[in-house]
Amino acid sequence: MSLVGLGPIWKVNNINNNHLIILLFSRILVAVDGSESSKKAFEESIYLAQKCNSKLDVIHVVSCELGGDSATTFELIAELKTKAEKMLDEYKIQAAKNNVPIEMMVTQGDPAQVIIEIAKTKRHDLIIMGTRGKSAFQELLIGSVSQKVMHHASCPVMVVR
């Protein structure tokens, strides 16, 4: 997992074993997409939110790369949003069990651009997100959404594998 700020990159290992000097983040944005790495990112966000007494915003962005204006496309987007809301309900339960205040957002657009804009608009102190690597080779690479967010966000970005 890496924590990328506006300057240097910090490597963070074993965050749950208290090997991280806790920074104070009052508002954390975690981006989830249903992948294993985004589930881990959510778990890390819960941990940090507890330690920092932070408010946690969870976002899922339905990509608009489906193309077209047909009724089928709109139906598919609506179905994807419904599935995302069900996924976020599970995260909401987990946050409640850990006494972490949480706000859920499902929106549509270019994932990187939406995450960057939400973080800036709502003045988040930290963005946490996962990579989508499936194989050992892919795990060496950071996904394109993560790359864009790391390079253009107005706050530090933690990428969790």
Sign of the Cα pseudo-torsion (75, 115, 128, 29, in order)? negative
| Boundaries of every domain in the chain | 2-14+22-35+47-135+155-160
Q: In the prediction, which pLDDT does 135 show?
A: 44
CATH number corresponding to 2-14+22-35+47-135+155-160? 3.40.50.620
Q: Which two tokens stand for residue 68?
A: 């077209």
CB 15 within 8 A of CB 47: yes
pLDDT over 90, % of the chain = 53
**Model pLDDT, residue 73:** 74
Q: Burial, 24: exposed, middle or buried (Cβ in 10 Å; 0-12, 13-18, 19+)? A: exposed
Q: What is the pLDDT of residue 92?
A: 95
Q: Enumerate residues 6+ apart whose C-beta is below 8 A from 6.
A: 154, 155, 156
Q: Kindly state the average pLDDT of the residues 84-111.
A: 94
Give the whole-angstrom CA distance, residue 144 versus residue 124.
21
pLDDT band for position 77 (cuts 50, 70, 90): confident
The region of weakest confidence among 49-53, 93-97, 136-140 is: 136-140
148-157 mean pLDDT? 94
User: Could you give the CA distance from residue 17 to residue 20 in angstroms, rounded to a whole number?
Assistant: 8
